[in-house]
Every structure is written in structure tokens, then in C-alpha cells.
């Protein structure tokens, strides 16, 4: 068995605005696990490193990849417990290789084309005019749930956008989720949550910044809008640490990004712990390429979710990888009539 890797820079079609700044491109890493005697048999994974969010040290990242490559060649295990994006990518490569190297990570009714996944429409931050245009596009495409990134422009403009949406689409016809990415403070969080509740907003992700569990717990107890934890989950590597966080904060929901919380295995641990406490959850992509998004969608399908999932990032990039995922309205499905684009992956500059 041989593991290879290559860096890949994804380029956004439009600037992607968040409360942490604007992104024009995003680095990622592809892993290729192949048979030493038959290199045509290979599995692909994406180590979806996220600058500014991934807990891994960016200056040491490539050295951890090299360590992983060496250990695979020697048949030794590698401790990836503190490297969630690498765990995510390596799990994919193993699953793909084990299932024949065809891009099938989790064989289910989804990969047989018998089921699809409902997703929310993601609306990035921008000017008021840009956000209204993007919302209009999502609604025209047929989304019954939209998620708006808020916290980057002035609050009154964001509130006007939400009011415009709600005036046109009542709560029984459109679910609105918002993601503040920690942009609110103790001084303004409760008036803003009250305004969101008055508009029938379904939930808010990360209203205050991560790393302030006492404040977050207070917000969760008092908020008139259900609160979901997102960035707050990052950096909790052990089951004990995860349990303590959930017990202290007790959110209504948690948002799972396997690339940031320990791969599929780490995310499943979060799900098990949350369900024991009556905490809801859904799965969201973390700006992966179509490689990671494909694997993530297949894993999501194993749960047969009924609530909209956050898997709508496949069309963000000008140079995304080939995909067998097809989005029609708000339904994501797997195209069984196509096959993995082997030529694309063979054309990459693999290193070992």
C-alpha cells in the first residue's frame, strides 16, 4: 500500500464573505491510497484544511502528511486525533480504496440513485444588494430552506434583508437559518436574537464567538431562537471533552463538519453524545472540493436525514474537481450514469 498527496488551491467564483473576512481562494490537500503493484487501483480522499478554523498548525501540516505517508508504507498507525482534516481525508481514501476505487465511500440507496438529500440554500455575506440578489436566486431555484451568513455588514441592513424575505415568504413556506460566525457580543446579542425570533428564524449558528462557554451557555438558556454550536466544537478531541462541552452549554443543535471535528468517526461520536442528551444536529460542508463533498454527502445519506442538510457548496469554485453529485432545486442526488474521472486525478502532481 502506498499513500501519495498533492496540494490544490480552490478559487471562488465570487468573494466569500464571513464575519472573519473575505475569502478569494482556499487551499486543500488530496490523498491517494494506491496498490503498490497496481497503481490503477486507488482511493481518493480530501484533507480539507480550513485556514483560520482547522486546529492543525499550518506550518507543520505538510510534515504530518509526510509522517502519515511513511507510516502507511511501513504498515504502522498514525495518531491523527489532533488533525481532523487529515483524519477526514485518510478515512475517505481508505473507504474509497476498500470499495473498489470508484468514488463510492458508503454504498447506500443514495449511491444507487434511489434516494436524495434535501439541502439548504447557502447565501454568503455581501452588500445588501448582493445578498438580496443571492436570496432571490436560491428561492427561484426552489429552496425551501435558506441559510444566511450574517455579521459582516451593518445589522440594520441584515435585518432589512431578513424582513424582506419573511414578508414575501411566511414561516410555513420558507425556513430561514442564520449563521453569525461568532459576530455578536454580550452587549447586542439578546436584542438581535429577539428580532430574529420575531421573524420566525429557525435557528442561529454560533451567535457569540467560540471559546466563551459560560457566555454561550447563558445565551442558549435565554435565547428565543434555538442556538446551534458550530466553531465551538472545534478542538475537542476526546469523548470526555465533548461530553463536558455539551453538558455545560446544552445547545438545541450542533452542526457537524467532519473536516473540523475528527473526520467521520469524530463526527459520529458527537452525534451519539448529542442524541443521548436530546440535542439535534445536522451536517454541513466546510468548503471542501467536490471530492470531500461527495464523500460527505454519502456519509450523510447513511443517516437518511429528513431535515435540510448544509451540503450546498459544490458550485462555489471555478476550478472544482469533477463531480457525480447533481443538484436539482434543493435535492442533492448521486448520478449513477457517470463514472469517476480517472484522467483528472492521474493528471495531478502526486508526491510521495
Catalytic residues: 149, 257
CA dist., res. 48 & res. 27, Å (int): 8
CB-based contact 30:45 (threshold 8 Å):
yes
What phi and psi values does residue 208 have, to the nearest 5 degrees? -115, 160
CA dist., res. 207 & res. 228, Å (int): 8
For 75-188, where are the alpha helices, taking DSSP H only? 84-98, 128-141, 155-168
Q: Could you say which DSSP state residue 207 is in?
A: S
- Closest to 103 in 3D by CA, of 316, 263, 340, 322: 340
- Closest to 183 in 3D by CA, of 196, 174, 169, 170: 196
Burial class (CB in 10 A: 0-12, 13-18, 19+), 162: buried
CA dist., res. 122 & res. 285, Å (int): 11
What phi and psi values does residue 225 have, to the nearest 5 degrees? -115, 130
Q: Is 346 left (phi over 0), alpha (psi -120 to 50) or beta?
A: alpha
Q: Could you say which DSSP state residue 231 is in?
A: G
CA dist., res. 203 & res. 219, Å (int): 13
Amino acid at each position: 500500500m502506498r499513500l501519495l498527496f498533492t496540494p490544490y488551491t480552490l478559487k471562488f467564483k465570487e468573494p466569500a464573505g464571513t464575519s472573519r473576512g473575505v475569502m478569494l481562494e482556499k487551499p486543500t490537500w488530496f490523498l491517494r491510497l494506491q496498490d503498490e503493484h497496481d497503481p490503477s487501483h486507488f482511493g481518493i480522499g480530501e484533507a480539507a484544511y480550513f485556514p483560520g478554523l482547522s486546529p492543525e498548525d499550518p506550518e507543520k501540516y505538510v510534515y504530518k502528511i509526510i509522517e502519515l505517508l511513511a507510516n502507511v508504507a511501513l504498515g504502522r498507525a498514525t495518531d491523527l486525533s489532533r488533525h481532523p482534516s487529515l483524519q477526514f481525508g485518510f478515512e475517505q481514501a481508505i473507504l474509497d480504496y476498500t470499495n473498489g476505487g470508484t468514488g463510492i465511500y458508503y454504498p447506500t440507496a443514495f449511491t444507487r440513485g434511489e434516494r436524495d438529500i434535501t439541502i439548504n440554500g447557502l447565501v454568503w455575506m455581501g452588500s445588501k444588494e448582493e445578498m438580496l440578489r443571492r436570496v432571490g436566486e436560491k428561492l427561484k431555484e426552489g429552496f425551501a430552506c435558506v441559510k444566511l451568513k450574517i455579521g459582516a455588514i451593518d445589522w440594520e441592513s441584515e435585518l432589512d434583508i431578513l424582513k424582506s424575505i419573511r414578508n414575501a415568504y411566511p414561516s410555513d413556506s420558507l425556513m430561514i437559518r442564520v449563521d453569525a460566525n461568532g459576530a455578536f457580543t454580550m452587549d447586542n446579542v439578546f436584542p438581535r436574537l429577539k428580532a430574529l425570533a420575531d421573524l420566525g428564524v429557525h435557528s442561529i449558528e454560533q451567535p457569540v464567538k467560540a471559546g466563551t462557554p459560560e457566555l454561550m451557555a447563558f445565551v442558549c438558556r435565554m435565547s428565543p431562537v434555538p442556538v446551534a454550536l458550530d466553531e465551538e466544537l472545534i478542538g475537542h478531541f476526546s469523548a470526555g471533552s465533548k461530553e463536558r462541552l455539551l453538558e455545560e452549554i446544552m445547545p438545541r443543535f450542533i452542526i457537524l463538519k467532519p473536516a473540523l471535528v475528527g473526520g467521520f468517526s469524530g463526527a459520529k461520536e458527537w452525534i451519539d453524545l448529542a442524541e443521548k442528551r436530546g440535542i439535534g444536529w445536522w451536517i454541513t460542508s466546510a468548503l471542501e472540493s467536490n471530492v470531500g463533498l461527495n464523500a460527505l454527502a454519502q456519509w450523510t445519506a447513511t443517516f437518511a436525514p429528513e431535515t435540510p442538510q448544509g451540503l450546498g457548496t459544490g458550485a462555489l469554485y471555478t476550478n472544482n474537481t469533477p463531480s457525480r453529485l447533481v443538484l436539482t432545486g434543493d435535492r442533492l442526488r448521486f448520478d449513477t450514469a457517470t463514472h469517476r474521472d480517472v484522467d483528472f486525478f492521474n493528471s495531478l502532481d502526486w508526491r510521495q
